[in-house]
Structure 1
Amino acid sequence: MPASSTLSDPFIAAAVWAGLGALGLTLLLSLQIVAMRVRLRRRQAAEAVVLARWRPVLNAAVVGELPAEGSTGLPPMLPGDRLPFLRLWVHLQGSVRGEAGDTLNALARRLRLDEEALAMLARGPRTARLLAALVLGHLRERRAWPDLLELSSDADNTLSLTALWALVRIDPEAAADYLTPMFIEREDWALSHVAGILQQASAPAAAALARILPSLGEAKLPRALRIAEALRLSLPPSVLGAALASPAVPVVIAALRSVLTPETIGQVRTLLEHEDWQVRVQAARALGRVGERADAGRLAGLLGDPHWWVRYRAAEALRDLPALSRADLEALRASLTDRFAADILAQVMAEGSPA
């Protein structure tokens, strides 16, 4: 059959044109990938040149060897140098402490990169704003406060959390007052992120939580108490005692997890007999942290609890009581008539023995 008659078939013609179109698109895509790789390599090569010029200066700043003000010891900051420089600067800031960080800050200000970061934060694309927030947080740049506050409510979680971190770096006390209620409301933010951000403002955050907790409803109290637990904050006994006395089981559980000091030990002892097994678990753990030698009998009573986790945590608490020696635990285990109680205590003692 002649080729012209074959192509006159509409289905065959459509298939041929579709194949040619797919081939053309494949070639275009391949060319685009090649072009992207070429651009990437060029950008990496250009950044390598920038870093080779600035890395010695930054490394010298880390060890306190910043050129004197007004000297010619610094290379010129070219327009293409700024972003690679700032990325390396932020990386170094994340790995140093104390005077080294202050010297890096002084270098950035001498190069007027604080002004550059403020402009990036106000008008830059997403990646530039992220970098700017990190830079301004390390610089503790107060002028960035309004823009960072606005960015902290952005729908993009990465942008908002980075802005919140920068706010804490700039002014821990003001940031704690602003952020703590927000962190309680935003349950979509992981507690690990919240704790990481508030770690540098733990004292102001503790004060803010102490003010906020008495006015919170039962729905929000567990989240607030978990934040206190993540930061290992010692809450005022009156605030913690009120949470321990709550009729809501989630609140009581969260409060027990926050018990770090013995002021509320009486309530903790009472909660060992709570009808909810999860409360008994947390009460046993809390008593292991703050209990006394006299609490050994109370915890031993839980070794026969119907729930395995209660027995296990009670055995752990007995092992962790600082007033009990290994010999005391051996004597207690030998005195137990309940086989399950003796077994769980023996298991926990074996787990805690040195290898």
Structure 2
Amino acid sequence: MPASSTFSDPFIAAAVWTGLAALALTLLLSLQIIGMRMTLSRRQRAEARALARWRPLLNAAIVGDAPATLPPLLRADRLPFLRLWVHLQGSLRGEAGEALNEFARRLGLDEDARTMLARGRRAARLLGALVLGHLRDRRAWPELLRLADQADNTLSLTALWALVRIDPEAAAEYLAPMFVEREDWALSHVAGILQQASGPAAAVLARLLPGLDEAKLPRALRIAEALRITLPHKVLRTALASAAVPVVIAALRSVLTPDTIDQVRALLAHEEWQVRVQAARALGRVGERADADRLVALLGDPEWWVRYRAAQALLELPSLRRADIEALCASLTDRFAADMLAQVMAENRPA
């Protein structure tokens, strides 16, 4: 059949042109992939050269042997250098970290980081915030405050971390109320950021707690718990006496001293089983030998979690030895209570 007659059929012609177009697109995609791989390969080689050039100098600075004269930092080396510098800072403390700070200042990287923070793309701003936090650069404070209020959680939390590094006391005054309000921020991140400002944060939280409404109080108490902050007795007593179950639960989790032990004992009989669970755990932390009978009574609670936490609390009581617990287990007449205590003892038996 002649070729002209073949292409005169519209269906065959459409199929041919569709195939040619697909082939052309495949070739273009292949060329693009090859180009991207070549670009990535060049970038990786350039980064490897930068690291080979600067890693020995940074290592020398860490041990206090930085050269008197530093080579210029090429523009292509800046990002690999900063990533390496931040990585090293994350594992250093004290004089070694300050030596790296001085090294970066000699290269003018504090100014570069402030420029990245103000005008860079997202990744550059994140890196700039990390650098300025490690440098404790007070001049970056206003820009970091602006970024801390961004909707981007990663960017805002990184800026908040940098603020704490720069000035823990001033940052605690600003951050503690914000962390109470921003429930979209995970408590683990909040605690990690405030860890270096736990003292100032404790003072701010103690001042905030009496004025908070019951909707915000549980989160504030959980922040105090995550930071292992010992709250003022008056604040804790008020929270333990609250009619709101979430507040009472959060307050029980914050009990670290025996000053409120009478309220904790009373809450062992609370109608809500979640409260009884936390009361048992709190008694395990601060209780006395005489509290063993109270915890034994909870071993007969209708809720499994209450029985389990009561058994754990018995093992945690500092005044009870292992032999005392074993004798107590043998004396129990309630089969469910005895089984629960035996299970927890087995879980805590030394390997």
| Range of TM-score over shorter length | over 0.9
Q: TM-score normalized by structure 1?
A: 0.96
Match of 1:332 in 2: 328
Counterparts of 1:189-200 in structure 2, within 5 Å, are: 189-200=185-196
Question: Conserved in 2, the CA contact under 8 Å of 1:315 and 1:344?
Answer: yes
Deviations, residues 183-240 of structure 1 (Å, cap 9, x unaligned):
1222111111111111111111111111111121221111111111111111111111
Tell me what 1:102 maps to. 98
Amino acid at match of 1:258: S
Question: Within 2, Cα distance between the matches of 1:230 and 1:347?
Answer: 29
Summarize deviations over 1:13-69 as a string: whole Å, max 9, x none.
Answer: 3333233222222211111111111111111111111111111110011112123xx
Secondary structure, aligned partner of 2:234 = helix
State how 1:157-172 maps to structure 2 within 5 Å.
157-172=153-168
Query: In the alignment, does 2:324 pair up with 1:344?
Result: no
Q: 1:338 to 1:39 in 2, by over 3 A?
A: same
**Hey, what does 1:119 align to over in structure 2?**
115
Looking at structure 1, the residues matched to 110 and 127 of structure 2 have their Cα atoms a distance apart, in angstroms, of 12
Of 138, 142, 159, which aligns to 1:142?
138
Match of 1:66 in 2: 66
Q: Is the 8 A contact 1:244 1:251 kept in 2?
A: yes
Q: Give the equivalent residue in structure 2 for 1:34.
A: 34
Provide the residue aligned with 1:320 in structure 2. Answer: 316
Displacement over 4 Å in runs of 4+:
none
C-alpha displacement at 1:320, in angstroms?
Answer: 0.6
The answer for the alignment partner of 2:125 in structure 1 is 129
CA distance in 2, matches of 1:78, 1:207: 46
Matched, 1:43 2:43: yes
1:234 pairs with 2:241: no
Q: Which moved more, 1:18-27 or 1:191-200?
A: 18-27
**2:85 paired residue among 68, 89, 92:** 89
Please state how far the C-alpha of 1:9 moved relative to its aligned partner: 3.5
Distance (whole Å) between structure 1 residues aligned to residue 113 and residue 103 of structure 2? 14
Helix, strand or coil: the match of 1:334? helix
User: CA–CA distance in 2 between the matches of 1:182 and 1:120?
Assistant: 25
Residue equivalent to 2:278: 282
Aligned to 1:54: 54
1:271–1:283 CA contact under 8 A, matched in 2: yes
Letter in 2 for 1:45: R
The 8 Å contact of residues 54 and 75 in structure 1, kept in 2 or not, is answered as no
Distance in 1, Cα, partners of 2:312 & 2:248:
21
Q: Deviations over 1:65-122 (max 9, x none)?
A: 123xxx33x2222222221111111010001111100000011111111111111111
Q: Determine the C-alpha separation between the residues in 1 that align with 2:22 and 2:101.
A: 54
Distance 1:189 1:144 in 2: 23
Q: Secondary structure at the match of 1:217?
A: coil
**2:75 paired with 1:75:** no
C-alpha separation between the residues in 2 aligned to 1:208 and 1:120? 32
Identity %: 79
Q: Which residue of 1 aligns with 2:180?
A: 184
Q: 100-109 or 230-239: which moved more?
A: 230-239
Shift of 1:331: 2.2
Give the secondary structure class of the aligned counterpart of 1:155. coil
Count of matched residue positions in the alignment of Structure 1 and Structure 2: 351
CA–CA separation in structure 2 for the residues paired with 1:215 and 1:222 = 13
Aligned-partner residue type, residue 278 of structure 2: Q
Return the alpha-carbon distance in structure 2 between the equivalents of residues 137 and 24 of structure 1. 51
* d(CA) in 2 for partners of 1:273, 1:150: 49
Of 326-335 and 3-12, the range deviating more from structure 2: 3-12
**Counterpart of 2:20?**
20
- C-alpha spacing 1:183/1:9, structure 2 compared with 1 (3 Å): farther
* Cα shift at 1:253: 0.9
Give the residue type in structure 1 aligned to 2:342: A
| Within-5 A mapping of 1:154-303 | 154-303=150-299
Deviations 1:225-261 (A, max 9, x none): 1111111111111111111111111111111111111
1:153-198: per-residue Cα shift (whole Å, max 9, x none)? 1222111111111011001111111111211222111111111111
Moved more, 317-326 or 345-354: 345-354
C-alpha RMSD of matched pairs (Å): 1.3
CA distance in 2, matches of 1:10, 1:227: 72
Q: State whether residues 137 and 165 of structure 1, in contact with CA within 8 Å, keep that contact through their aligned partners in structure 2.
A: yes
Moved more, 299-308 or 325-334: 325-334
**1:65 partner SS:** coil
Q: Give the drift of 1:302.
A: 0.3
Gaps in structure 1 of 5+ consecutive residues: none
1:121-143 superposed Cα distances (whole Å, 9 cap, x missing partner): 11111111111100000000000
